[in-house]
Amino acid sequence: MTGNRVKIIDTPLGICSLKYLYLDKNQIVSFQNNPLSCCTKLEVLTIKENRIRSLTDMGTINTLKRFDITSNKIIDVLQLSNLNMPNLEELNFLNNQIENEPFARYCALYYIPSLSVVNNKIITMTDREKAKTIGSPSNPLMKLIKLTVSHYIQ
pTM exceeds 0.75 = yes
Q: What is the pLDDT of residues 8-61, one digit of tens each?
A: 665 455 567 889 999 999 999 888 777 777 788 999 999 999 999 888 878 788
Query: Does residue 2 fall inside a structural domain?
Result: no
User: What is the per-residue pLDDT for 84?
Assistant: 87
Containing structural domain, residue 132: 8-153
CATH number, domain of 118, equals: 3.80.10.10
CA 60 to chain centre: 12
User: What is the per-residue pLDDT for 95?
Assistant: 92
Place 118 in a pLDDT band, splitting at 50, 70 and 90.
Answer: very high
Q: What angle do CA 81, 33, 36 make, to 5 degrees?
A: 75
Query: Does residue 1 fall inside a structural domain?
Result: no
